[in-house]
Structure 1
C-alpha cells in the first residue's frame, strides 16, 4: 500500500513538472512573468516532493542513496531541480532555466517509470503501461492544439484574400479580424509544441524500457521528431525573424500537413507504432 502511494506521488511529480516546463516555455518566448511565477511555484512543489522522497529513502536504506543506477538518476534529477530554483531566483537566466528543466524532466521521468530493484514486477509493468498512456495522451493533445492552430491559419488566409480582393459581405463580417486569428493560431502552437516535446520524451523512455530492438531510424520516430523540428522552425521564424501575416500562416499550414503525413504514412511504416496504423 505504501509502495503504491509513493508511486502515485512520483507520477504527480512528473505531471507537475510537465506543467512547469510548459509555463517556462511560455515565459521563455513571451517574457511572461506571471507564467514564470506559476512555473516557479510548481517547480518548488516538485522539489518539496523530491526532497521528501530522498529523505525517506535515506531513512529506509540507512545510507546516502546514490549507489545504484536508479538512485543516481533520482539524485541527478533532484540536483537539476535545485539548480533550476536557484537559477530562477538568483541569476534569472531564462534560457538556461528552460532547457535545464527539460533535461531534469527527462531524468525524473526515466527514474519514475523505469523498473527498479525495489519495485515488484506487477508494479513495474503497470507503470510502464501508464507511461505509454501518458505518452499517447500528451501527443494526441498536442496534435489537437496543432489542428486548431491549422484551422485558424486557414481562416486567416481566407480572410486575408477576401480583404485583398475587397469582397465585402456577410462571410467577411462573420470572421474575426486578422490579428485575432493570427494570435489564436500562435497560442495554440505555443501550447502544442512543449506538449509534443514532453510526449516524445516519455515515448522514447517507454520504447527503451519495453521494446527489445528500438531504433532511432524507425519511420515514426524520425517523423515525430521532424514534426517537432518543423514547429520549432515556426517559432524561430515568428519570434526571432519576426515573420508575420500570410507568410507565417502558410508555414503553419504546411507544418500541419507534414504532421498528417507523419501521423498516417509514417505511422503505417513504423515497426512498433501499430496503434496508429
Structure 2
C-alpha cells in the first residue's frame, strides 16, 4: 500500500509538471487550448491531493498541520485550490502561472522527502527516482534547445540563400523563414520550463543526498545561466519584438552555452562527476 501511494504521489507530481508546462505556454502565447488542458490536468492533481489529504486525516484522526512536512502538503493543496479558483474566476494568467510554479516546488519537496516514508529501502528508492526524473527533464530540455538551434541555423542558411538569390531544390526543402523561426521559438518555449522543473528537482535531490554541496558549482551556475539566457530570448521575442537574423544568432549563442555546460562544466563539477 505504501508503494502504491508513493507511485500515486509521483504521478501527481508529473501531472502537475505537465500542467505547469502548458500554463507556461499559454502565459507566453495566450493559447486557450493549452490553458484549458492545463486547467483540467491541475483539476486532476487537486482531486488526487484531496483524496490523499482525506485518507491521511482518516488514518491519523487529525488535521495534517502539526509537522513541517504535513504543513507543506496542506500548503501545496491550498495553492492548487487558489490557482484553480483564480484561473476560473479572475483569469489572471500571470498570477496563475507563478502560483503553480511555487505550488509545484512545494509539492516536489514534500513528495520526494524520504522522512515521510516509513520504509528506509523505499525512501532511498524514492530519492533515486527523483534523480532519474531530474536527469530526464534536463535531457528533454537540452533536446528541445538542440532542435531550436537547428531551426535557427536553417533559418540563417535559408536567409543567406534568399539574399544571394540561390534558387533551387535546396531552398524549397528548407522551408519558409517564418516557419523556421516559429519552430525555433516554440522549441525554446518547451525547453525553458522543462529545464526549470529539472533544476527544482535537482536542487531537492542535492539537498537530500549532498547537503554540503557548494552552490557555486560550475554545473549549477551554468544551468541557471542557460535558464536565464533562454528566458531573455523569449522576452526579447515576445516583448521587444526582436526577430529574424538577430534572434537566430542570439539563439545559436545561447546554445553554445548549453554545449559548454554539458561537456565542459559537467567535467568541472564535483558532484555531477561523482554521481556519474
- Residue equivalent to 2:185: 186
Contact 1:135-1:202 at 8 Å conserved across structures:
yes
Contact 2:117-2:123 at 8 Å conserved across structures:
no
- Residue equivalent to 1:142: 141
The superposition leaves residues 189-232 of structure 1 with CA deviations (integer Å, 9 ceiling, x where unpaired) of 11111111001100000000110312211111111000000000
RMSD across aligned C-alpha pairs, in angstroms? 1.1
Could you tell me the TM-score, scaled by structure 1's length?
Answer: 0.97
- Residue equivalent to 1:200: 199
SS of match in other structure, 1:273 = helix
- Deviation of residue 115 (structure 1)? 1.1
Contact 1:149-1:185 at 8 Å conserved across structures:
yes
- Deviation of residue 53 (structure 1)? 0.4
Higher alpha-carbon deviation: 253-262 or 170-179:
170-179
Contact 2:16-2:42 at 8 Å conserved across structures:
yes
Matched residues in 2 for 1:114 and 1:58: separation? 20
C-alpha distance 203-118 of structure 1, shift in aligned 2 (>3 A) = closer
- Deviation of residue 174 (structure 1)? 2.0
SS of match in other structure, 2:270 = coil
- Residue equivalent to 2:212: 213
Alignment partner of 1:23 is 2:22: yes
SS of match in other structure, 2:107 = helix
C-alpha distance 262-78 of structure 1, shift in aligned 2 (>3 A) = same
Matched residues in 2 for 1:65 and 1:89: separation? 27
Could you tell me the TM-score, scaled by structure 2's length?
Answer: 0.98
Contact 1:153-1:185 at 8 Å conserved across structures:
yes
- Deviation of residue 90 (structure 1)? 1.1
Matched residues in 1 for 2:24 and 2:199: separation? 16
Matched residues in 2 for 1:268 and 1:150: separation? 23
- Deviation of residue 236 (structure 1)? 0.6
Contact 1:65-1:72 at 8 Å conserved across structures:
yes
Length, aligned pairs only: 276
Contact 1:267-1:274 at 8 Å conserved across structures:
yes
Which blocks of at least 5 consecutive residues in structure 2 are unaligned?
none
Higher alpha-carbon deviation: 227-236 or 170-179:
170-179
Which blocks of at least 5 consecutive residues in structure 1 are unaligned?
none
Contact 1:267-1:276 at 8 Å conserved across structures:
no
- Deviation of residue 169 (structure 1)? 2.4
- Deviation of residue 173 (structure 1)? 2.3
Contact 1:14-1:109 at 8 Å conserved across structures:
yes
- Deviation of residue 143 (structure 1)? 0.3
Superposition misfits of 4+ residues, deviation over 4 angstroms: none
Matched residues in 2 for 1:29 and 1:46: separation? 23
- Residue equivalent to 1:89: 88
- Residue equivalent to 1:258: 257
- Deviation of residue 187 (structure 1)? 1.0
Alignment partner of 1:120 is 2:107: no
Matched residues in 2 for 1:27 and 1:174: separation? 31
- Residue equivalent to 1:224: 223
C-alpha distance 262-47 of structure 1, shift in aligned 2 (>3 A) = same
